[in-house]
Structure 1
Amino acid sequence: MLPNKINPYLTSSVLSLILVASVHAQSLRDPTLPSQGFQRAAMVNDQQGLVLNSVVNGAHSYAVINNKIMKVGDNVQGVRIVAIGKSHVSLSDGRKLQLFQSITER
């Protein structure tokens, strides 16, 4: 083989590799994206999903339940709030929602 001539087999091999790499690169997905079968899940707030976020006590007590401000007598998911304490809320169906204790308490 002469040094100034290009080998046709080498040229076709290199072009084939470039073509395959190009096609493969186009089929790659961003790994930070959800998988193709991913569907955004809707948040379902059923009666078991009540969360007491915070309580404000004073002349009128308020509770934040599922990120909504509520007072005694209000209904949340079909259940009436009957009492609001310092760290809990009592519901008409007998359940009691409790705040998590602070990590700084000892």
Structure 2
Amino acid sequence: MLLNRISVSALVLVVGSLMLLTTHAKAQSLRDPTLPGQGYVAVSSSIAPKQAMVLNSIVNGQRAYAVINNNILSVGDTVSGIGLRVTAIGQDSVTLSDGRKLQLFQSITER
């Protein structure tokens, strides 16, 4: 009877130890999902993304001026850092040489 209790206790001890070891081994094999995968290579593009342009304001008078990216421009001027020319300045919009049209927010133009 004592022999059976010792062997059962030893078996429980061995099984418990094996369970702890396998749990520890599984925990080590898990990979952080936020890390890049193996063979990850950073690729840099030589093509610059389109810069965001913000039409801050328009001043209409004898001559129209537009403030784009905090720079004061008139028709024919080039937007610095982008290389596009201002082709037209309207009441609430500016047209650029590539055909893009920058528009003021509706809340600014309504009174």
How high is the TM-score relative to the length of structure 1? 0.54
- Matches of 2:20 and 2:54 in 1, distance apart? 57
- Matches of 1:100 and 1:34 in 2, distance apart? 42
Ranges in structure 1 where 5+ consecutive residues have no aligned partner? none
SS in 2 for 1:14: helix
Larger radius of gyration: 2
- Name 2:25's counterpart in structure 1: 23
- Matches of 1:79 and 1:22 in 2, distance apart? 61
The structure that is strand-richer by fraction is 1
CA shift, 1:7, in A, is 2.5
- Matches of 2:106 and 2:89 in 1, distance apart? 18
- Name 2:85's counterpart in structure 1: 80
| CA RMSD between the two structures | 3.8
Equivalent runs, 1:52-71 vs 2, <5 Å: 52-58=53-59, 60-64=65-69, 69-70=70-71, 71=73
How high is the TM-score relative to the length of structure 2? 0.53
Ranges in structure 2 where 5+ consecutive residues have no aligned partner? none
